[in-house]
Amino acid sequence: MAGDSRHPERAAVTALADGFLAGLREWLTIPSIGTDPAHHADVGRSASWLAAALRADGWPQVEVWDAGPALPAVYACWPSADPDAPTVLVYGHHDVQPVDPLELWQHPPFSPVLVGEELFGRGASDDKGQVAMHLLAVRAHLAATGQAAPSVTLKLFVEGEEESGSPHIRRLLDDHRTDLACDLVVFTDTPLHERDAPTVCTGQRGVVGAEVTFTGGSSDVHSGRAGGGVPNPVTALARLVGALHDDNGRVQLPGFYDGVLEPSEQERADWASLPFDETAWLAHNAGGAQVASGEAGWSTLERVWVRPTAEVNGIVGGYTGPGLKTIVPSRASVKLSFRLVPGQRPEVVIDQLRSFVLAHTPAGVHAEVEVRGEGVPPYAADVTHPANTALREAFEAAFDQPVRFSRTGGSGPAALLHAWLGVPVVYLGATLPDDRIHAPNERVVVPLLLKGAEAAAVLWRILPERLVR
């Protein structure tokens, strides 16, 4: 079926592929690490590169939003010739994760290298590769249809702070409400299930984080002097962390599962039928973990897609140098984050955490809970929405095989876009869960990006007749 060309977008993508790849490789040389102030100028350079590429492609309106406080975002609009055509806002981001530990990269992270079908480099998958995929899709859509403008009015919103938790996105959405007005958001920052089992993502988990610090005395004290006679804040904090889960892996914050929307039996059956090689998943998606484990009663995919979690991201307290030091430490702190699922809200979970900490703070220990940002709410798309139906059809056309729905366990501002813009959000992504995003040796599988561009190009063509405004 590889040579199938029932739709004209395939040949158009193929013809444009070399130029697409050259452009992406150039963009990937810009180290737009938004979380590192030393690279903020590079985030600006990255935005300028994208704006120039859009202008070169013929987008009639291209803006770099760099008035601050947000790092530069890129906005573009290409109106349809049909004033009644729906308006679609494509969301992505051009900032990238830090690259530490640098010594684990087999190629320098900002000198992209193509090895067979894989393009290696920071941002290749998350998310420059997928944003570039959309540029290719629009060119292919115009080439395939012979039109001077897209069938839908296309808007592009590519932010520069996603890897920082989108701290100023609410402000951008407020400041540019008219620019961003649309009928549908196509969110492009999620993966397929597997290369051989392409899927349309329909939801992400949310996340919220906090640091809990326990303080006992005003200084560490010799354990021969006072050990056994005073509270040990590290012990107290470990007892708190130990109490976060019961023996079935259920999170013990009071009310944590209240209102959690469980997937339907149909969804669970669909996911159970997806191919899943646990050994490969552990090796490639789970940092080489030796076993899968988690909340009783749910499969591994369900645990990471649709079940909420309480995770310790880091802990430190007392003496951590070489050898022993027999002290009762004065202080310990733990970084916690919670992945949230539809039905949960970040601010409610933080309240639950505060109650839990209060209940687990022993006498003589002072507790402090420092919340990190506002959190990211979870989002689940309506799988029966016509846009999702059209999206699946476009994917089936591009991948020449049946396409099912999936979820992803990561987080992004989909719920925010939905709430601020008041429109449905669907997910269009063509990367893989084992692309090593946020890790050394990030890569993207180039033929999948081409398939994704093909699917997007088909979508722009068929969407007007599917979306009743």
Q: In the window 27-46, what residues touch a second copy (CB under 8 A)? A: none
Pick from 378, 433, 452, 464 the residue near a second copy by CB under 8 A: 433
Q: Under 8 Å CB-to-CB from 416, ≥6 apart: which residues?
A: 166, 169, 170, 173, 376, 377
Which residue lies nearer to a second copy by CB, 5 or 320?
A: 320
Closest contact distance (angstroms) between CB of 98 and a second copy is 9
Q: Give the binding range for a second copy (CB under 8 A) out of 61-69, 135-143, 264-272, 315-323.
A: 315-323
Residue closer to a second copy, measured from CB, 11 or 257: 257
To a second copy, the closest distance from the beta carbon of 238 in angstroms equals 4
Could you say which DSSP state residue 71 is in? Answer: P
Helix/strand/coil for 15? helix
Structure tokens at 292: 């899968």
The residue from 32, 130, 153, 309 that contacts a second copy (CB under 8 A) is 309
| Nearest distance, CB of residue 359 and a second copy, angstroms | 13
Instruction: Check binding of 229 to a second copy (CB under 8 A).
Output: yes
Selected range binding a second copy among 75-83, 85-93, 138-146, 360-368, rule: CB under 8 A: 360-368
DSSP output for 323-339: S---EE-SEEEEEEEEE
| Contact string 385-424 vs a second copy (x = CB under 8 A) | -----------------------xxxx-------------
Distance CA 13, CA 451 (A): 8
Task: Decide: 238 and 363 in contact? Cβ < 8 Å.
Answer: no
Q: Which of 195, 223, 351, 374 binds a second copy (CB under 8 A)?
A: 223
Residue whose C-alpha is closest to residue 208's, from 322, 344, 80, 87: 344
For a second copy, the closer CB: 240 or 428: 240
Q: At what angle do helices 446-466 and 128-145 cross, to 10 degrees?
A: 50
User: Which backbone phi and psi does 203 adopt, to 5 degrees?
Assistant: -175, 155
CA distance 203 to 219: 47
Closest separation between CB of residue 124 and a second copy, Å?
16
Residues 233 to 292: which contact a second copy by CB under 8 A? 234-235, 237-245, 282, 285-292
Residue selected from 314, 347, 401, 465 as contacting a second copy according to rule CB under 8 A: 314
- The answer to whether residue 378 forms part of the interface with a second copy (CB under 8 A) is no
Element (H, E) at 3: none
Backbone angles phi, psi at 354, to 5 degrees: -60, -45
Q: Are 20 and 446 in contact (CB under 8 A)?
A: no
Q: Given candidates 55, 171, 177, 366, which one binds a second copy under the rule CB under 8 A?
A: 366
